[in-house]
Amino acid sequence: MSRVRLLVGTRKGAFTLTADGTRRDWQVSGPHFGGWEIYHINGSPADPDRLYASQSSSWFGQIIQRSDDGGQSWQPVGNDFAYEGEVGEHLWYDGTPRPWEFKRIWHLEPSRTDPDTVYAGAEDAALYRSTDGGQKWQELTALRTHKSGPQWQPGAGGMCLHTIILDPVDPNRIFVAISAAGAFRTDDGGASWLPINRGLRSGQIPDEDAEVGHCVHRLAMHPSRPEVLYMQKHWDVMRSDDAGGSWHEISGDLPTDFGFPIAVHAHEPETVYVVPITSDSEHYVPDGKLRVYRSRSAGDEWQPLTTGLPQADCYVNVLRDAMAVDTLDDCGVYFGTTGGQVYGSPDGGDTWAPIVRDLPAVLSVEAQVLP
Amino acid sequence: MIRVVLPAHLRNLARISGEVSLDVTGTVTQRRVLDAVEERYPMLQGTMRDRRTGQRRAYVRFFACEEDLSNEPPDTPLPDRVTTGEEPFLVIGAMAGG
């Protein structure tokens, strides 16, 4: 029987959660790298035992860890993330120019085919690639040096490149998203980048439909329809049917369309999950009720999923990288909260149960299916 | 022999326990001591000093002989008692909450 492994990054360490295919009984391993912030752990689709973890702290900076045995042992690999060439400037909160300054790696995205190739999204925003298992990192400079770069500004969480989607069909196409610059696409392996923000409207910026400046929180794609993208923006849930060429709103009947994560069912490309949050000034679920909303129609019509989730006195948030699906049948859906709970649903969201309740604040969740 | 005490997180990262003992040739300075630490434990590169500028990370402090040497120029000779191994060179994570 297949097994499932969840890779959980928290404010104070990494955890792995494993279960058999029934996904009822879970074993918790951790904390790994206790006391460090683990923004993200991710596994190679080509070799699920090859894991990469972003380990960082305000004191000691950025470390990248690699495991070749599914997280039983780890080795620190390269942590030299240099901005290549002229560093350049972006806008600071007060509107003055400020040089790019490396803070941390938010997201690690291993290649779909090569376990030694992995992409890393940085704060301040830049995209890096390693082709030797994380030992050396090379910046894909054309993104940071895009002509709109001097106009990019950080969101409250920093100017982070937090989403990397490698196109499953076209190896030269990559989608990324940056807070608060927006979404970008390359069709030439990173040699050039196109802002893909047409149709976004953001009331928090002076020009509501500017080319850049939108606080995109997360992008999601189903691999069978790589031209269809879903977006949770600061406010608004959006969809593009042309690989980001244009966007339209699909918030529909959501109780609020502010939120962070968005995920697509593993087998139903039009089934989408979000976790609405009260507002941009109240980063917790509305009305004390933890509700995942599911649309089976690629947006607009949403159904609250509540069975097994707390429906009173709950005031947690679910961060942008903290929701994932597995590829078993039924599709498993998982998310972690800022309150340290990780919830799982083995039936596509119909029913939920806590897998673990008292971890540090959860920053990221990834799901792997193991033979 | 120079003695260096690293903070717990860096000892864990380097997989060491206790003090680090190092031979440093020439004048014993903060820069040479940290260079020697990083040479022996390459995974500590970038954790105490910025890789590009060599500047101390903001929340890392350097103490020795009950003195805060954090803001001393990195090429200033360290106290004799550090040079002789009588006192350790301390790398400290600054106090902070959270």
Contact between A32 and A74 under an 8 Å Cβ cutoff? The reply is yes
| Closest of A186, A178, A162 to residue A108, by C-alpha | A162
Name residue, tokens 């940085």: A122
Q: CB B57 to CB A59 under 8 A?
A: yes
Per-domain boundaries in chain A? 3-370
Per-residue pLDDT of B63-79, as tens digits, reads 999 999 999 999 999 99
Asked if the model's pLDDT at residue B98 lies above 70, the reply is no
| Closest of A63, A186, A191, A233 to residue A134, by C-alpha | A63
- Band (pLDDT 50/70/90 cuts) for residue B96 is confident
Contacts of A135 in chain B (CB under 8 A): none
Cα distance between residue A338 and residue A324, in whole Å: 16
pLDDT in single tens digits along all 371 residues of chain A? 799 999 999 999 999 999 999 999 999 999 999 999 999 999 999 999 999 999 999 999 999 999 999 999 999 999 999 999 989 999 998 889 999 999 999 999 999 999 999 999 999 999 999 999 999 999 999 999 999 999 999 988 899 999 999 999 999 999 999 999 999 999 999 999 999 999 999 988 888 889 999 999 999 999 999 999 999 999 999 999 999 999 999 999 999 999 999 999 999 999 999 999 999 999 999 999 999 999 999 999 999 999 999 999 999 999 999 999 999 999 999 999 999 999 999 999 999 999 999 999 999 999 999 99
Q: CB A60 to CB B52 under 8 A?
A: no
Interchain contact A57–B (C-beta under 8 A): yes
For the record, the structure tokens of A241 come out as 């049917």
By Cβ distance, the residue of A35, A36, A76 closest to B43 is: A76
Q: What is the CATH number that goes with domain A3-370?
A: 2.130.10.10
A216 beta partners: A233
Query: How many A-B residue pairs are in contact by the CB < 8 A criterion?
Result: 38
For the whole prediction, is pTM greater than 0.90? yes
In chain B the domains, ranked by start, together with CATH numbers, are 2-93 (3.10.20.30)
